[in-house]
Structure 1
Amino acid sequence: MTMDSSVIINFTTHLVKSHDAIIFDCNAKELQSIAGALMAQNQFVYPVQLNSSFNLRFILTRHNYAHSSIVINTSCKESSILLEKATRDRYFNKTYQWLVWGVNQRIDNLFPPEINYIGPNAQVTFVNESNGVYMLWDIHSKGRHLKSKLEIRLIAKIDRNSEQLQQIRNIFELQSIRNRDQFNGLTLRGASVIDQENITTNEQITAILSRPSKDSGVAAFIKYHYELLGLLQERFNFSVRFRNSRGWAGRLGNTTFRLGLLGIIMRNEADVAASGSFNRINRFAEFDTIHQSWKFETAFLYRFTPDLNTDGKSGNFLAPFRKEVWYIGLGTLIVVVIMWFLIKVIKSRSLKMDSQNLFFENENEPSVSKYISPHNYSELILQTLGAVCQQGMDPMYNNLPSRCIVLTIFLFSLVMYNYYTSSVVGGLLSSSGQGPASVDEITLSTLKISFEDIGYYKVLFRESKNPIVTRLISRKLSASRGPQEVPIYSHIDEAVPYLKKGGFAFHCEVVDAYPKIANLFDANEICDLRQVSGLMEVEIMNWIVHKNSQYTEIFKIAMCTAREAGLVQRILRQRQIKKPVCQSLYTVYPVSLSGVMSAFVILIGNFLE
């Protein structure tokens, strides 16, 4: 059956208002005629002859504009192959406006169950003819792969004689979109992650995810996304039958076969997931994102005790400066002592040569033989130490080089002392910075560590090549643990009492631990609570569906609406519990012996000297 160019022109220019059209036909003359008629209407036309070889992926590319029109003549036998390719590669979506010329054809024959990618996002218009009038029907489904029936609605009529478009319904109007929102109790395929054994039934999964309390093996963002899924269920009137997995990702050897929840969605075995996904560049080609709102934040939590500090050796006598500063300062003084000694030797030798008197001795400038004695070495070092300690110098040297060196030492000690005392006073006034502040410092500290018993930690330790993680495993996780010690993987309810005792750090998603900490810790203990992130990135998680899913567009719009209405923010306030506020005025930490040991060593060394 030949296609009527007036129908195609009315469809492209008036009904969907597209600017480019792709025509699939097996008749070369008809193809040329329709292309010419469309170009006369300022349309960009790409004619494709169906009985020739072509690659659909090279024709329908990302360079096609939104609402690009695609016209198919179904009287060509090759059209069925084209429709199969379109459903397999997921081209029935919002980007393309399909016009299926089906005069003298049955819809059931053109769209058999194998053509199953005609969901609520599809923009497919079917054309048939009755008594000289062309009828244009909008076709979509709530999920053809779920045995949902095709839904057909008349949107326009075109009289063959007058060639005028009579638009009955605007397919882009709000009422038409709402008609696609009603799923009529359809059951969608769902996926979840619960790291527990013997979770096999949908009832078990629903019972665990619907509980407001914390469950073992269930991340906080899992229950959050389950609540978001509840918003979609209320909005579109559908139910979900879940399939559970123990983890999110993984591969078998060097293959591209994904395990876990991501593998289920990638293989299109689930329509929606009650979980978020981490942002990874290699996932953008396989998944669509319908929403982002959950801030995934994990950290080590521990209670500060006086035996901990920022360098792993507690706020001690040397703590105000880093080791590098102490080494550079000591090296500077050694260089100054050597220069001072050389200046005195050179000055004494010049005086000897001027007087030609080998036994000439000045009261303030001893002889060369005196300078090389061990007694004068120690005397010069003690004079330098006295200048550093700002104790003065008696007798004072009367030559210019020695005076310059003494003045330099006094200025050096003044600047260093100013920074040193400022750091000490600042540390006394504020205790928030005390304790290990990075993952490496946690690794070097005396803290026993444990992790929440959940799947992503096991993947991290097995696959990560980060040197920070490697050091943590070798120093903290390799040794065996006794029966009275906390295991490497534990539940939050078991770990928080150990946090209260001190000497223990627990890594978890912090919003899960805060409620338990608020119940067990008193005001002073909350002020002692420290949080160290860095082992896992803080990021906003993606709520994903399969790439070019039938539900991508409609779910994304619904979540934008829910966010604007404040529903998402309400769930976030309930799920992302804030850290308990420190309400104590200050905390006094006793001075430990290890903190002043270095000062006593220096003092004893002075006595011995």
Structure 2
Amino acid sequence: MKKMGSWSKKSDVIEQINMYKYYRHWDFENSSLNIVAVMSTPPKVFDVDMIIGDNPSPGVAIMTITGTRAFEEVSKLHNIRFNYTIMDRWIGDFKRNSTRVAANSLYFEEQDVTPLLRVTPEIFKKVDILSPPLTSIETRYYYRIPTTGPGKFENQFLMPLTDGVWGCVVAVISLCAIVLFLTARAERRPAAAQYAVFSVAATFCQQFFEDNSAIADPSRESSARQLTVLVTGVSCVLIYNYYTSSVVSWLLNGPPPSINSLEELLESPLSLIFEDIGYTRSWLQNPTYYYNKKNSEVEDKLRKIKVFKKKKGQPLLVPLEEGIEMVKAGGYAYHTEVYNANTRISRTFTQAELCELGSLQSMEKTLLYPSVPKNSPYKEFFNWSLLRICETGIVSRIQRGTSSPEIACEGSSPRALALG
């Protein structure tokens, strides 16, 4: 029974009855609602502290902690008892006999609410979205910048010339030395062999030697010998200029030794590993699920080449702590959310290691919305109650408690010069 107001004969009206209905229905009297959340490995015995506690269980995303804590605040305000269902993924397909995940369990009205969902056009048609959003998600590939690999990833300044180039160099200078020896011998020049060998060697080493002046004095040299010395000099200058021009062009025009796109990640020598978490399982198991629809083509290639063709025994799904350590050791690109990664990296990386750390965005920063089934009777109530705890600062307090520190190189290590 609720006291709604009082009736007076004089006014013939019931006073205070026009109060907003959610103030009138403030107390749900411990009524139960079904809520679905995600952990990478659903436990046999669940305790809500696994998600909202100060030390959450492994496989719980920071976004899950933020959203669930907000809903727990709503439950305390309105005396609601949540019955939790834990699943291993947020998004799957919507066939009747498909494996139940958070999204399709709402669609089939088996659950009343979920604290967050990444809203795609397909999801928007299947469930109702609540507002305001409680948190966001951003994922990246973290890696230690490789020093070897194809094309842009190599420091070309330190690359030796290939065996084929050296073979051509030796062949050209040998031919020039032989021709110079024959012309000196034909002119009966003393020490013809030494003259030919050391002249070519000096030219190759970019040293000026006394007999080079003979090119400008036709009276002292035969035309054959002039031509030979000229060919030798031009060949050596071309080799020298080609090498130094490659160095300068790489320094001025090449990108820093990092990975700037998923295509470059695909070509890199890095092995991909992933955090064992709900959205990763959706990406691995659902071929129509993408971190970013704009990169659907290259994501398909990553799945096909870097994931499904892994050798047996190579790691794929790795816990956060182990994944960051593998990144630190080098040779791996670890896919995880930014918040958890930054927290772990800030605790374990030295400043020098931070300067060697690179990251590549996979999923753009995306707002996550609580969701209910279509035409849910709780939609308006949750919209009102979530907006109320946002206005009173409860949500921002929760978000500050789950925020992570920024990580950045302080410039203590030199970087490759770039034109920009």
Structure 1, residues 112-140: CA drift from partner, whole Å, max 9, x if none?
A: xxxxxxxxxxxxxxxxxxxxxxxxxxxxx
Partner of 1:564 in structure 2? 391
Structure 1, residues 337-392: CA drift from partner, whole Å, max 9, x if none?
A: xxxxxxxxxxxxxxxxxxxxxxxxxxxxxxxxxxxxxx9xx98xx69x98xx69xx
**What is the rounded CA distance, in whole Å, between the counterparts of 1:473 and 1:257 in structure 2?**
22
How has the CA–CA distance of structure 1 residues 252 and 269 changed in structure 2, closer, same or farther, with 3 Å as cutoff? closer
Note if 1:299 corresponds to 2:299: no
Structure 1, residues 193-217: CA drift from partner, whole Å, max 9, x if none?
A: 22215x244xx14131133235333
Partner of 1:246 in structure 2? 88
**What is the rounded CA distance, in whole Å, between the counterparts of 2:63 and 2:253 in structure 1?**
39
Note if 1:470 corresponds to 2:300: yes
SS at structure 2 position matched to 1:264: helix
**What is the rounded CA distance, in whole Å, between the counterparts of 1:252 and 1:278 in structure 2?**
15
How has the CA–CA distance of structure 1 residues 183 and 529 changed in structure 2, closer, same or farther, with 3 Å as cutoff? same
**What is the rounded CA distance, in whole Å, between the counterparts of 1:498 and 1:508 in structure 2?**
13
Q: What aligned pairs does 1:15-54 form with structure 2 within 5 A after superposition?
A: none
Note if 1:444 corresponds to 2:267: yes
Question: How far off is 1:506 after superposition?
Answer: 0.3
Partner of 2:106 in structure 1? 265
How has the CA–CA distance of structure 1 residues 167 and 421 changed in structure 2, closer, same or farther, with 3 Å as cutoff? farther
Note if 1:513 corresponds to 2:355: no
Partner of 2:13 in structure 1? 167
- 2:92 is matched by which residue type in structure 1? G
- 2:327 is matched by which residue type in structure 1? L
Alignment check: 8 A CA contact 1:189 1:242 kept: yes
> Highest Rg: 1 or 2?
1
**What is the rounded CA distance, in whole Å, between the counterparts of 2:271 and 2:317 in structure 1?**
12
Alignment check: 8 A CA contact 1:296 1:540 kept: yes
Question: How far off is 1:489 after superposition?
Answer: 0.7
SS at structure 1 position matched to 2:401: helix
Question: How far off is 1:299 after superposition?
Answer: 0.8
**What is the rounded CA distance, in whole Å, between the counterparts of 1:422 and 1:561 in structure 2?**
59
Alignment check: 8 A CA contact 1:518 1:580 kept: yes
Alignment check: 8 A CA contact 1:289 1:545 kept: yes
SS at structure 2 position matched to 1:290: coil
Partner of 2:354 in structure 1? 526
* Alignment length (residue pairs): 335
Alignment check: 8 A CA contact 2:146 2:257 kept: no
- 2:262 is matched by which residue type in structure 1? V
How has the CA–CA distance of structure 1 residues 169 and 553 changed in structure 2, closer, same or farther, with 3 Å as cutoff? farther
Partner of 1:276 in structure 2? 116
Note if 1:580 corresponds to 2:407: yes
**What is the rounded CA distance, in whole Å, between the counterparts of 1:289 and 1:258 in structure 2?**
24
SS at structure 2 position matched to 1:538: strand
Alignment check: 8 A CA contact 2:22 2:381 kept: no
TM-score (norm 1): 0.48
- 1:215 is matched by which residue type in structure 2? S
Question: How far off is 1:490 after superposition?
Answer: 1.0
Q: Which has the higher contact order (CA 8 A, sep 6+)?
A: 2
- 2:323 is matched by which residue type in structure 1? A
- 1:231 is matched by which residue type in structure 2? E
TM-score (norm 2): 0.68
Partner of 2:292 in structure 1? none
Choose the corresponding residue for 2:24, options 164, 179, 185. Answer: 179
**What is the rounded CA distance, in whole Å, between the counterparts of 1:476 and 1:282 in structure 2?**
27
Choose the corresponding residue for 1:503, options 305, 312, 331. Answer: 331
Partner of 1:349 in structure 2? none
In the alignment, structure 2 segments of 5+ residues that lack a partner are 160-226, 289-295
Alignment check: 8 A CA contact 1:200 1:244 kept: no
Q: Percent identity between the aligned chains?
A: 20
How has the CA–CA distance of structure 1 residues 546 and 474 changed in structure 2, closer, same or farther, with 3 Å as cutoff? closer
Structure 1, residues 516-569: CA drift from partner, whole Å, max 9, x if none?
A: 1111111111122111013x3431111112223222222222222222232222
How has the CA–CA distance of structure 1 residues 566 and 426 changed in structure 2, closer, same or farther, with 3 Å as cutoff? farther
**What is the rounded CA distance, in whole Å, between the counterparts of 1:438 and 1:156 in structure 2?**
71
Partner of 1:414 in structure 2? none
Give the CA RMSD over aligned residues: 3.8
- 1:467 is matched by which residue type in structure 2? E
Partner of 2:208 in structure 1? none
**What is the rounded CA distance, in whole Å, between the counterparts of 1:493 and 1:246 in structure 2?**
20
Partner of 1:551 in structure 2? 378
- 1:490 is matched by which residue type in structure 2? V
Partner of 1:50 in structure 2? none
In the alignment, structure 1 segments of 5+ residues that lack a partner are 1-149, 320-374, 391-416, 590-609
How has the CA–CA distance of structure 1 residues 448 and 284 changed in structure 2, closer, same or farther, with 3 Å as cutoff? closer
Question: How far off is 1:480 after superposition?
Answer: 4.1
Question: How far off is 1:421 after superposition?
Answer: 5.0
Question: How far off is 1:449 after superposition?
Answer: 1.5
Alignment check: 8 A CA contact 2:272 2:334 kept: yes
